[in-house]
Amino acid sequence: MQQMKKTVPGLVVAGLRGGSGKTVISLGIAAAWSNSEIEVAPFKKGPDYIDAGWLSLAAGRSCYNLDTYLCTPPQVEHSFYSHCRDCDISVVEGNRGLFDGIDLEGRTSTAELAKLLNLPVLLVLDCTKSTRTMAALLLGCMHFDPDLTILGVVLNRVAGKRHENKVRDNIKQFCDLPVFGSVPKLSARDFPERHMGLVPMEEHSLATDSVAAAAKVARDYIDLDRLHRACMEIASRVPSREPLENPVPARQVPATVPSVSPPSFSSKVEVEPPVVGIIKDSAFQFYYPDNLEALEACGAKLAYISPLTERVIPHVDAIYMGGGFPETHAPQLAANKGFRERLRELARQGLPIYAECGGFIFLGESLLLDGVSYDMAGVLPVHFGLSNRPVGHGYTQVTVVADNPYFKKGETIRGHEFRYSTVLDLDQTQGTMAFAMDRGKGIVNKQDGFFRDNVFATYTHILASGTPSWAESIIRQALAYRDR
């Protein structure tokens, strides 16, 4: 007989807008609870690599992304419950404003996710130059969606005790919700920002100290024991539900496209697992745990490779190149000529290579920065530059319009893009575009997924739990390459 799915205590940390301070508050709560020997399962709502990396460091375990655009609601539920089954409590950091979604119904919003997972919301209020208005905004949130449980608030960027008391008194008078803490204005020294988010944890030389500072902020200014008790009390009132089936079918794969069974490596004597090289260092760091685990679940052995520090490429049967900030490491990447030449040679030999965003840049011919051109790997006939503003940002939806090694023609795929790079020159006669953009910008002319032979590069990031055919295709190509 199947076991009932247990109720998982937790909370969603949300704000009224992006930049309200919920990331530092989420980090602080997760780190402080973890330091108190409370096992915390961290999650990030929406497509995000940087905040998820910091949350992973704070909680001491992988942070998983939950997104109802990239995945079906059952897939999101399955990810959440399977990754916190051995934890004491979950902390989910929201994104943007609490109710901000892609349509009038609030689909893909933080509020939608909180209701899907039966989790209460801790609202972070940026109180800058406001007092009574905070109560009005909070009251509006309480009445905007009566089905949403708002646990309480944390006041952020408070100017002093007098300011704090005014806000507290108004919330008590008009909202009757707990104020779990009041955080003063903090210096940005511990969490410097780049582009539209925090600096990646891998590039922050004082990452551990920064998380420790966030934990101290939480301990000093938030009543963590009271917050923990409130989460446990709410969880005790949520009934357990039937377990979710696994695997969860993907929304993105039409019924006309047959599903693909992953290769089986149960007999390692007969079939050795293919080796998939993961290009990962401070230049290439944007990888969802779901994607790496999906490759392993399909039988891959992962080998991590750094084009910044390694001169040779070890034996691999395929390569997966994630995104990152190659522009901040362009001189080092260009200087590693041996690595670039070897990658180009392997590509010519048919090595399967799948690259996203920053990995796409490294596969190109060059990257132009401040008038200086830096040589990249030269695998694909593309020259890149860099803009001061985002060139592509947000959710994407693509239709596969050309036969290619990794996706079925006619398949619809949902992903996201976030890039400052610009395509200065692209010789489309030397390859094929696999994707037509139904939503998003893509590479050029509403097209994405440029490929030649077994090399595939795209600005669209996918989440493997929402696109299960991706990992299976990489393993299939790796085995075929090894057999050749």
Q: What CA–CA distance (Å, rounded) separates 330 from 195? A: 17
Q: What CA–CA distance (Å, rounded) separates 123 from 134? A: 11
In sequence order, what are the residues at sequence separation of 6 or more whose Cβ sits closer than 8 angstroms to the Cβ of residue 473? 260, 405, 406, 407
Catalytic: 175?
no
- What one-letter code names the amino acid at 322? G
Question: Element (H or E) spanning 469, and its range?
Answer: helix 469-483
Q: Assess contact for 276 and 319: CB atoms under 8 A.
A: yes
In sequence order, what are the residues at sequence separation of 6 or more whose Cβ sits closer than 8 angstroms to the Cβ of residue 358? 283, 284, 286, 321, 322, 323, 324, 325, 326
In sequence order, what are the residues at sequence separation of 6 or more whose Cβ sits closer than 8 angstroms to the Cβ of residue 392? 417, 418, 419, 440, 441, 442, 459
How far is the CA of 427 from the CAs of 80, 382, 423, 444, in angstroms?
A: 43, 7, 11, 11
End-to-end CA distance of the chain: 47
Q: Assess contact for 90 and 41: CB atoms under 8 A.
A: yes
In sequence order, what are the residues at sequence separation of 6 or more whose Cβ sits closer than 8 angstroms to the Cβ of residue 339? 307, 310, 311, 312, 313
Q: Taking Cα atoms as reference points, which of 36, 39, 34, 80 lies closest to residue 58? A: 34
Q: Assess contact for 97 and 248: CB atoms under 8 A.
A: no
Q: What CA–CA distance (Å, rounded) separates 79 from 116? A: 12
In sequence order, what are the residues at sequence separation of 6 or more whose Cβ sits closer than 8 angstroms to the Cβ of residue 407? 400, 413, 434, 449, 469, 470, 473
Nearest-5° Cα angle at 355, 350 to 361: 110
How far is the CA of 395 from the CAs of 6, 90, 108, in angstroms?
A: 32, 26, 11
Cβ neighbour number for residue 341 with a 10 Å cutoff: 12
Q: What CA–CA distance (Å, rounded) separates 290 from 76? A: 12
The SS3 of residue 348 is helix
Place of tokens 């290579």: 353
| Extended beta strands in 346-431, E state | 353-356, 366-369, 372-375, 382-386, 392-400, 412-419, 421-426
In sequence order, what are the residues at sequence separation of 6 or more whose Cβ sits closer than 8 angstroms to the Cβ of residue 264? 271, 299
Question: Mind telling me the catalytic residues?
Answer: 357
